[in-house]
A and B are shown apart, each in its own frame.
Chain A
């Protein structure tokens, strides 16, 4: 019994096609309104507590959200006239780039050093002129390495590396600035190597490349799907029909998304890929249609018959997929909701098309050519069907060993899952050989680290930060934090006080301490504030002296690095119960941690709820709890295997993997629905479990394998992408499709046989 829609489509194919074209034009005209937002930061709304607190602290301490680091490495040492000249001229040139915060660029020529010489207090840039003679070069090095605030931050311990830190204005394009910096250093290259690093560069480069990647790989994936489909069905019209379903669903849902006014986000940019994946489900229709056409010889009847048997599973796979993604609408991260909704919408569009456009286009196809192509279909023979039959037979006959092997794999995989880390690191979205990744590695090895965080020490009373005891607690915390392997360097008002104290006492190391009186501290800080740039003091302490800011340089952009630091703070507080200060984390690394927790755990939560929803849909679909659970096994098995594998190879559960988990929902469940539905139909006809199972493995099983191969081959091209998230997604989609299709065909016969009494005879 085919649906009314299918009947109309078969009777009036041209009308249906015309209607679809009109609707498509409506969605297509929305596209020029496209707005993109590639900043993953925006996945948390501007009103989220972490963003509000970060904004507050950044304006309170006159800090910048984003900073690019230009590392300059000369393996023979940077202290020579040539290298230093270049550092000086690059510092000046970089200031001219639009979007760079001129007054806060930090380099050897702009950062102030506080030193003492012949009884004079000198506050001036670390390098206020280019040293020429050997003596001058030596003096400069002595001055720098005498000041612990500079070593690690501005220059490396081994004298081979220095960095220019380039804060950028809010909203400035870090990729464009990074490109300009690369242009500047390319103009005057010497022995030095240059590295442009930092999260903003990674973020904006990724955002920029994201659309290029989508632009290159979506059409290639589409093309490969097209060729694979043609090789499978040898009929251009049918192939076009199927591709049209995919593209129309993409146009409709992206058109709606843009038309409604949502920006295209990192997540929503993946919608086309997902819809293309979901659209491949139509393969089952063609697969059955060819068998039917060969059997009946009447095209119209074959279409009606095909839709009658394939219709229900197709409808339910769509329902399961749409429901799975709809769960994401209930999550609280907005781009996750948008992503869930529009994929669910696209899935429904695909289903409507399957029952209208596809039959309509089949009607318009040349009969003779179709029949010629259908002749090749045979579940009894043919290379594809033969090994599928064997696979089904193995599952059926050797059900014990197959099941035991499955259990063993499950246990191994579950152990792997327990090793998964939920962690995101944008820099690692680039390949190890990429410029961005290398820059980060080199700078983290030689300097204190490219990632930054702040710990804000808050007291209840003004002027607290002039109190020697309070400064001692801050210093104590700094030492504690420096004990963490992720912390490269810390800096606070304490370091300034100690530095001024030492310098005012003729560089006597005995005075490298926090003075004993509040007045002394106050006057040292005043002196420092008078001599340095206004910013230098603002960065570390508030005007009321009730809050101080501890700068941290971290050696990794891992979101979970910050958790280690929070632990250290707790340890410090526990061992110093008298400290009245509150220590609050802030800054980009802290933001990344919160983002990681909020967004990724939201995805995980959504994923788990969706798994439950899919199970319920399966139960409703089969109107049986038993069959619902049985059909659920291949999906669950695939997911456990995939994530177990991820756990073993040490891949973090990051943003790309979380997106992937959503996709597994949409795909793996389809196979078992098709398998079981068709098995039940067949069993009703033949009343023989073995026959029905093996027939299902060979005939609808071919549709399953075709679906899997089609999709795996199309998405394996993403392995060639330069960005690791695409490689990950491509690789895992391919793996997941192949695994879940094989598991379905191998394990469903085994399990159905084991539970046959429970499932069938009762």
Chain B
């Protein structure tokens, strides 16, 4: 009888010591820190971005753009995107005001007809500029939208990581996301998305993480759709933080006449 008691208490004790319970409290904190490190480094950012969309057969659509970002109050942000290529769309510019807790404002400039139009897109899970990334993947998902669970400590490519499981509170295209978050930098190194059939369908990978101005920066990332075979690779070149972008750059005037100093 006492043997069983010992056994049971050993099991109970080891269970209490398990990382899942130890970290239960701070799963949400880890995600918060991760979002800050990934989406909000510096006061602002300037980068040249190369985006490669690859279809199942290997055919590619290439996009080259300059991305400017400025953090506003709280978790609000402003983005300015200028397309260099493909050649026949050069000059197309895109601007996003991101707000926490409400829909973004988006504007687009179409040079061929010299038109600025507002674009309404209510779904933050919709594709970002036609890529496998969603708007959320580029600028972050509301912390409140998911429940978080600390799964385990682990290592990924030799780096110690927190493994966190997120489950959306209201139904969306995925039912579960597993993130491998670097313990040192809080950068998500890998994320797996599970669809409503319960199977893995999308994988995010931070393939290259550098340090820019003392801050971690993901310079190469991919999002692969396992099921469709479609893949998007994004390479950030010449990232600079805290370059001193002024608010007036993020305006319709500059959308029509891009700020050359920052675009290059």
Q: Give A78-92 as 1s and 0s: 1 = Cβ < 8 Å from B's Cβ atoms.
A: 000000000000001
Partner of B120, one of A124, A526, A534: A124
**Is B127's beta carbon under 8 Å from chain A?**
yes
Partner of A103, one of B53, B61, B122, B227: B227
Partner of A100, one of B86, B197, B225: B197
CB within 8 Å of A: which residues of B?
Answer: 53, 55-57, 59-61, 83, 86, 88-89, 92, 94, 108, 110-113, 115, 117-123, 126-127, 129-132, 171, 173, 195-197, 201, 225, 227-230
Q: What residues on A are CB-neighbors of B123 within 8 Å?
A: 124-125, 128
**Is A402's beta carbon under 8 Å from chain B?**
no
Q: What residues on A are CB-neighbors of B131 within 8 Å?
A: 534
Cα distance A117–B120 when bound, in Å?
Answer: 9
A466 touches B88 (CB 8 A): yes
A123 touches B197 (CB 8 A): no
Q: Nearest CB to that of A542 among chain B residues? A: B59
B53 touches A543 (CB 8 A): yes
Partner of A527, one of B86, B110, B120, B122: B110
Known A-B contacts A121-B118, A122-B120; the reply to A103 vs B228 at CB < 8 A is yes
B92 touches A102 (CB 8 A): no
Closest CB of chain B to A123's CB: distance in Å?
A: 6
Known A-B contacts A95-B197, A124-B121, A537-B130; the reply to A59 vs B92 at CB < 8 A is no
Closest CB of chain B to A140's CB: distance in Å?
A: 15
Known A-B contacts A98-B197, A102-B197; the reply to A121 vs B130 at CB < 8 A is no
Partner of B118, one of A56, A119, A518: A119
Q: Give A108-127 as 1s and 0s: 1 = Cβ < 8 Å from B's Cβ atoms.
A: 00000000010111111100
**Is A531's beta carbon under 8 Å from chain B?**
yes
Q: Nearest CB to that of B132 among chain A residues? A: A534
Closest CB of chain A to B43's CB: distance in Å?
A: 27
Q: What residues on A are CB-neighbors of B171 within 8 Å?
A: 92
Partner of A102, one of B86, B89, B195: B195
Q: What residues on A are CB-neighbors of B173 within 8 Å?
A: 102-103
B113 touches A526 (CB 8 A): no
Cα distance A531–B128 when bound, in Å?
Answer: 8
Known A-B contacts A96-B196, A103-B228; the reply to A532 vs B130 at CB < 8 A is yes
Partner of B115, one of A102, A466, A504, A530: A504
**Is A544's beta carbon under 8 Å from chain B?**
yes
**Is A538's beta carbon under 8 Å from chain B?**
yes
Q: With A62-B55, A102-B201, A534-B132 given, name 15 new contacts (CB 8 A).
A: A59-B55, A59-B56, A95-B196, A103-B228, A122-B119, A123-B126, A519-B111, A522-B88, A526-B89, A527-B108, A530-B94, A532-B127, A533-B126, A535-B230, A537-B130
**Is A463's beta carbon under 8 Å from chain B?**
yes
A62 touches B122 (CB 8 A): no
Most-contacted residue by chain A among B55, B89, B130 (CB, 10 A): B130
Q: Could you give 20 example pairs across A and B, Cβ below 8 Å?
A: A56-B57, A59-B55, A62-B56, A96-B196, A102-B196, A120-B117, A121-B120, A122-B119, A122-B120, A123-B119, A123-B120, A123-B121, A523-B92, A524-B110, A529-B61, A530-B108, A534-B53, A534-B130, A543-B55, A544-B59
B122 touches A128 (CB 8 A): yes
**Is A348's beta carbon under 8 Å from chain B?**
no
Closest CB of chain A to B90's CB: distance in Å?
A: 9
A519 touches B53 (CB 8 A): no
Closest CB of chain B to A725's CB: distance in Å?
A: 35
**Is A434's beta carbon under 8 Å from chain B?**
no
Most-contacted residue by chain A among B88, B108, B110, B123 (CB, 10 A): B88
Q: Give A688-714 as 1s and 0s: 1 = Cβ < 8 Å from B's Cβ atoms.
A: 000000000000000000000000000
Cα distance A504–B112 when bound, in Å?
Answer: 12
Q: What residues on A are CB-neighbors of B127 within 8 Å?
A: 532-534
Q: What residues on A are CB-neighbors of B108 within 8 Å?
A: 121, 527, 530
Q: What residues on B are CB-neighbors of A531 within 8 Å?
A: 119, 121, 130
Q: Which 6 A-B pairs have the closest CB atoms?
A: A522-B88, A529-B130, A520-B112, A543-B61, A526-B89, A120-B118
**Is A176's beta carbon under 8 Å from chain B?**
no
Q: What residues on B are CB-neighbors of A123 within 8 Å?
A: 119-121, 126
Q: Nearest CB to that of A56 among chain B residues? A: B57
B117 touches A504 (CB 8 A): yes
Cα distance A523–B85 when bound, in Å?
Answer: 11
A523 touches B228 (CB 8 A): no
A62 touches B228 (CB 8 A): yes
**Is A723's beta carbon under 8 Å from chain B?**
no
Cα distance A378–B111 when bound, in Å?
Answer: 101
Known A-B contacts A62-B230, A119-B118, A530-B94; the reply to A97 vs B110 at CB < 8 A is no
Cα distance A522–B88 when bound, in Å?
Answer: 6
Partner of A119, one of B117, B126, B229: B117
Most-contacted residue by chain B among A515, A519, A544 (CB, 10 A): A519
**Is A414's beta carbon under 8 Å from chain B?**
no
Partner of A530, one of B55, B88, B129: B129
Closest CB of chain A to B39's CB: distance in Å?
A: 20
Q: Nearest CB to that of B116 among chain A residues? A: A119
Cα distance A103–B229 when bound, in Å?
Answer: 12
A522 touches B86 (CB 8 A): yes
**Is A137's beta carbon under 8 Å from chain B?**
no
Cα distance A544–B56 when bound, in Å?
Answer: 14
Q: Nearest CB to that of B81 among chain A residues? A: A530
Closest CB of chain A to B203's CB: distance in Å?
A: 15
Closest CB of chain B to A450's CB: distance in Å?
A: 24
Q: What residues on A are CB-neighbors of B112 within 8 Å?
A: 515, 517, 519-520, 522-523
B118 touches A530 (CB 8 A): no
Closest CB of chain A to B262's CB: distance in Å?
A: 21
Q: Nearest CB to that of B59 among chain A residues? A: A543
Q: What residues on B are CB-neighbors of A124 within 8 Å?
A: 120-123, 126
**Is A417's beta carbon under 8 Å from chain B?**
no
Cα distance A466–B83 when bound, in Å?
Answer: 18
**Is A60's beta carbon under 8 Å from chain B?**
yes
A519 touches B230 (CB 8 A): no
**Is A660's beta carbon under 8 Å from chain B?**
no
Partner of A97, one of B83, B197, B230: B197
**Is A717's beta carbon under 8 Å from chain B?**
no
Most-contacted residue by chain A among B60, B86, B115, B121 (CB, 10 A): B121
A121 touches B55 (CB 8 A): no
Q: What residues on A are CB-neighbors of B60 within 8 Å?
A: 543
Known A-B contacts A59-B57, A95-B196; the reply to A121 vs B228 at CB < 8 A is no
Cα distance A523–B91 when bound, in Å?
Answer: 10
**Is A101's beta carbon under 8 Å from chain B?**
yes
A121 touches B92 (CB 8 A): no
Closest CB of chain B to A306's CB: distance in Å?
A: 67
Most-contacted residue by chain B among A119, A531, A542 (CB, 10 A): A531
Known A-B contacts A95-B197, A119-B118; the reply to A526 vs B86 at CB < 8 A is yes
Cα distance A95–B59 when bound, in Å?
Answer: 28
Q: Nearest CB to that of B131 among chain A residues? A: A534
Cα distance A119–B115 when bound, in Å?
Answer: 11
Cα distance A542–B227 when bound, in Å?
Answer: 20
Partner of B59, one of A60, A519, A522, A534: A60
B89 touches A522 (CB 8 A): yes
B119 touches A121 (CB 8 A): yes
Cα distance A522–B197 when bound, in Å?
Answer: 37
Cα distance A617–B249 when bound, in Å?
Answer: 92
Q: What residues on A are CB-neighbors of B56 within 8 Å?
A: 59, 62
Cα distance A532–B134 when bound, in Å?
Answer: 11
Partner of B119, one of A120, A520, A535: A120
Chain A, 486-528, CB within 8 A of any chain B CB: 504, 515, 517-520, 522-524, 526-527
Q: What residues on A are CB-neighbors of B61 within 8 Å?
A: 529, 543
Closest CB of chain A to B131's CB: distance in Å?
A: 7
Cα distance A526–B113 when bound, in Å?
Answer: 14
Q: Nearest CB to that of B201 among chain A residues? A: A102
Cα distance A531–B126 when bound, in Å?
Answer: 8
Q: Nearest CB to that of A169 among chain B residues? A: B227
Q: Give A328-354 as 1s and 0s: 1 = Cβ < 8 Å from B's Cβ atoms.
A: 000000000000000000000000000
Q: What residues on B are CB-neighbors of A122 within 8 Å?
A: 119-121
